[in-house]
């Protein structure tokens, strides 16, 4: 492994591993609800309006996070795509760059702390770890935040351990500080500040901070952040900071905000799973850090204290906070990765129990992933439901597929077997001959997990692609109504952000009543999308309307009703009144002049419900009217 860690070659290898881990599914996964689609939609509106100060989601101000990720996304979309194309992969490119930056910065800073080989191993494990790869494939803040924070901490490590740290160290530190603030506010300063304070208190010396305590450093950060902050405050009449603090930050400090609560210990329990494959070497690495702090290894205690100060204070903050999500602790994963790399290089010094526990955790998690991911494909690989079948039989077009694609199923099974095999190979190699081969198999198992989950299973989980199904239905609008997909107005009671991003900013979202009222007030063709999972009465009416009269009567005759004639006057069957009431409730179908019906079926995972979306096209162009007017 010594040869791989030499020179610029090492940086190329680390960058390539991080990129490969993130690229799995980056181009093929649909827009994710809800945060990713909200971020992407807000960026799309910036590109559409030319306003790069205010952050808006549809017609609402989004005063939660700073503007940095939106600027990066807008730059990426401008370079490789267009806002009108609604290609989510273009919005994910800054997250990909954030993962690469985090891995490279981890390697750069880690060399000062644990040596070149251990830093190389740690950066390789970080670049392929489950959580960082997942965040790198999503168009939101956390991957770039990890990159900015790791760069700041790497600069701090070089300021502390470099022989002659110059002005470039301070420049990188304060630039990373400004970037982190623009991405996600106080997180990067908090991590760096808590680390520095813990070390100063622990060692009772502050002189090592001199390379970054330069007068122009904070000024650089202020110049990066303050102009936009003043502009957004003016544009929102002071609402941005007030809402960002009172509606977003403070609720997370006092309760489980947006139902994302958890007890202390949550992040510790999640660590072995989402830190995979670095789990294999983490416990020996922690043992090595503890030994170094106790004095086992000249000159290594300072590095161990730095890693502990990087991890423990921030970890405790997030464990104490009542609001918990797995990615909150991502900025300290580089320190854990360096510990794992250190443990790998000095594996011979690890206690037997540390290695056995590590083998057990790594093996269980690898086999768990190899087993669970195919099961997820079995559940979500098709989107058929009884509601969809019934509506389809009554004239609703498309919207569901029965059974699983056998070729995709085969790919899922093969990739899952490969993942299990690589996990086993890493365990055998680490047990019989610890060294570069064990690290290689561990890194490959991490890459394999990303490919199986995000590259094969999720892109082919048709049931979770509701927004894509609606967009596909809209693609036929020109044939149906004479209007191109970009021109037809759309109103939907399926209100997930993925639909707003997929269809465009002018999409009207609201309740079923609001959607129907919008369509009734128009004189032009409209596409109406009704979420049947959110309106039980509407669902029952449409399903009942879809049944034939014969089926309904046969069902009723076979149960409760028996006609009895007591006079010459005809007696109405008991279902007649229900028929009239249902006809009244569905009168809008006649009033809207519905000319085509389609459906989308699947799972709204953001709400945890299965649903069918009934899609109606209204006031279609007459068949004898050409789409193009000729002189």
Residue 400 has pLDDT above 50, yes or no: yes
Look at residue 558 and tell me if it is in a domain: no
What is the percent of the chain with per-residue pLDDT over 70, rounded to a whole number? 89
Residues 186 and 52 in one domain: yes
- Pair of tokens at residue 235: 């544009």
Look at residue 392 and tell me if it is in a domain: no
- The angle formed by the CA atoms of residues 348, 354 and 356, to the nearest 5 degrees, is 95
- The angle formed by the CA atoms of residues 621, 622 and 625, to the nearest 5 degrees, is 90
User: Global pTM?
Assistant: 0.92
pLDDT of 386: 87
pLDDT of 627: 46
The DSSP secondary-structure symbol of 246 reads I
Look at residue 537 and tell me if it is in a domain: yes
Q: Do 145 and 184 meet the contact criterion of CB atoms below 8 Å apart?
A: yes
Residues 456 and 476 in one domain: no
Look at residue 350 and tell me if it is in a domain: no
Domain count, the chain: 3
Query: Where does a domain end: 422, 443, 462?
Result: 462
Residues 430 and 328 in one domain: no
Residues 422 and 490 in one domain: no
Residues 253 and 330 in one domain: yes
Question: CB neighbours (10 Å) of residue 401?
Answer: 15
Look at residue 448 and tell me if it is in a domain: yes
- Pair of tokens at residue 71: 């600027």
| Span 9-19, pLDDT tens digits | 999 999 999 99
Look at residue 559 and tell me if it is in a domain: no
Rounded to whole angstroms, how far apart are CA atoms 308 and 196? 11
Q: When comparing pLDDT for 270 and 7, which is higher?
A: 270
- The angle formed by the CA atoms of residues 563, 569 and 573, to the nearest 5 degrees, is 35
pLDDT of 631: 39
CA nearest to 444, candidates 411, 421, 410, 412: 421
- The angle formed by the CA atoms of residues 108, 110 and 113, to the nearest 5 degrees, is 130
Query: Where does a domain end: 447, 462, 477?
Result: 462
Domain extent for 418: 361-383+398-462
Residues 473 and 417 in one domain: no
Look at residue 349 and tell me if it is in a domain: no
Residues 109 and 172 in one domain: yes
| Span 200-239, pLDDT tens digits | 999 999 988 999 999 999 999 999 999 999 999 999 999 9
Question: CB neighbours (10 Å) of residue 393?
Answer: 11
Q: Give mean pLDDT, residues 49-53.
A: 95
Q: Do 18 and 120 meet the contact criterion of CB atoms below 8 Å apart?
A: no
Q: Per residue in 204-231, is it b (16+ CB within 10 Å) or e — as a string?
A: eeeebeebbebeebeebbeebbeebbee
Q: When comparing pLDDT for 543 and 548, which is higher?
A: 543
Residues 436 and 527 in one domain: no
Look at residue 277 and tell me if it is in a domain: no
Q: Do 354 and 373 meet the contact criterion of CB atoms below 8 Å apart?
A: no
Residues 596 and 450 in one domain: no
Give the H or E element holding residue 149.
Answer: helix 142-161
Rounded to whole angstroms, how far apart are CA atoms 475 and 139? 25
| Reported confidence tier of residue 5, pLDDT bands at 50, 70, 90 | confident
Q: Give mean pLDDT, residues 397-415.
A: 86
pLDDT of 630: 41
Residues 103 and 237 in one domain: yes
CA nearest to 160, candidates 171, 170, 147, 175: 170
| Span 564-594, pLDDT tens digits | 445 555 555 555 555 666 666 677 888 888 8
Q: 302 CB contacts (<8 Å, ≥6 apart)?
A: 160, 161
What's the mean pLDDT when you consider all of the chain?
89
Query: Where does a domain end: 408, 437, 462?
Result: 462
pLDDT of 578: 59
Rounded to whole angstroms, how far apart are CA atoms 22 and 134? 7
pLDDT of 300: 87
Residues 216 and 192 in one domain: yes
Residues 492 and 435 in one domain: no
């Amino acid at each position: 492994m010594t040869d791989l860690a030499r020179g610029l070659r090492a940086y190329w290898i680390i960058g390539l591993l991080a990129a490969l881990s993130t690229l799995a599914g980056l181009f093929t996964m649909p827009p994710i609800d809800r945060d990713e689609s909200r971020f992407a939609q807000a960026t799309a509106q910036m590109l559409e309006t030319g306003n790069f100060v205010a952050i808006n989601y549809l017609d609402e101000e989004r005063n939660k996070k700073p503007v940095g990720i939106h600027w990066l996304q807008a730059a990426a979309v401008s370079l490789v795509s267009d806002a009108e194309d609604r290609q989510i992969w273009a919005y994910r490119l800054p997250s990909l760059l954030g993962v690469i930056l985090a891995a490279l910065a981890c390697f750069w800073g880690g060399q000062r702390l644990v040596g070149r080989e251990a830093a190389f191993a740690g950066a390789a494990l970080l670049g392929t770890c489950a959580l960082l790869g997942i965040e790198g494939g999503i168009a939101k803040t956390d991957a770039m935040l990890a990159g900015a924070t790791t760069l700041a901490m790497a600069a701090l490590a070089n300021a502390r351990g470099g022989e002659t740290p110059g002005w470039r160290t301070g420049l990188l530190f304060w630039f990373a500080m400004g970037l982190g603030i623009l991405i996600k506010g106080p997180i990067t300063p908090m991590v760096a500040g808590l680390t520095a304070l813990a070390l100063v208190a622990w060692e009772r010396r502050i002189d090592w901070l001199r390379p970054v305590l330069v007068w122009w450093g904070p000024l650089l950060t202020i110049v990066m952040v303050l102009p936009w902050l003043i502009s957004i405050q003016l544009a929102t009449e002071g609402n941005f900071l007030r809402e960002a603090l009172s509606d977003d930050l403070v609720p997370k400090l006092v309760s489980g905000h947006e139902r994302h609560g958890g007890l202390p210990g949550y992040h510790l329990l999640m660590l072995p799973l989402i830190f995979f494959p670095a789990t294999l070497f983490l416990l020996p690495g922690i043992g090595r850090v503890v030994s170094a702090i106790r004095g086992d290894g000249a000159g290594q205690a300072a590095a161990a204290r730095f890693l502990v100060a990087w991890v423990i204070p921030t970890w405790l903050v997030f464990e104490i906070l009542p609001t918990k999500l797995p990615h909150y602790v991502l900025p300290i994963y580089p320190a854990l990765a360096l510990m794992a790399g250190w443990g790998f290089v000095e594996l011979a010094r690890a206690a037997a129990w540390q290695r056995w526990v590590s083998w057990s955790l790594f093996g269980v998690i690898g086999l768990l992933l190899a087993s669970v991911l195919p099961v997820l494909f079995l559940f979500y690989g098709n989107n058929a439901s009884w509601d969809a079948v019934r509506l389809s039989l009554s004239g609703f077009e498309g919207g569901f597929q029965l059974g699983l694609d056998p070729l995709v199923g085969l790919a899922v099974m093969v990739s899952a077997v490969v993942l299990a095999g690589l996990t086993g190979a890493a365990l055998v190699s680490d047990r019989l001959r610890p060294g570069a081969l064990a690290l290689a198999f561990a890194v490959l198992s991490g890459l394999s997990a990303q490919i199986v989950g995000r590259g094969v299973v999720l892109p082919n989980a048709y049931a979770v692609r509701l927004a894509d199904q609606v967009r596909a239905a809209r693609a036929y609008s020109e044939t149906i109504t004479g209007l191109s997909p970009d021109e037809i107005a759309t109103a939907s009671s399926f209100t997930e952000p993925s639909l707003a991003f997929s269809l465009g900013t002018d999409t009207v979202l609201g309740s079923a009543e609001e959607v129907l009222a919008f369509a009734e007030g128009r004189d032009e063709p409209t596409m109406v999308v009704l979420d049947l999972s959110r309106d039980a009465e509407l669902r029952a009416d449409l399903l009942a309307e879809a049944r034939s009269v014969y089926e309904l009567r046969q069902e009723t005759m076979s149960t409760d009703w028996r006609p009895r004639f007591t006079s010459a006057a005809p007696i109405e069957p008991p279902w007649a009144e229900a028929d009239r009431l249902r006809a009244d409730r569905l009168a809008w179908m006649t009033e809207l002049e519905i000319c085509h019906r389609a459906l989308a079926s699947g799972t709204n995972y953001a709400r945890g419900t299965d649903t069918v979306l009934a899609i109606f096209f209204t006031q279609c162009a007459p068949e004898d009217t050409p789409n193009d007017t000729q002189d």
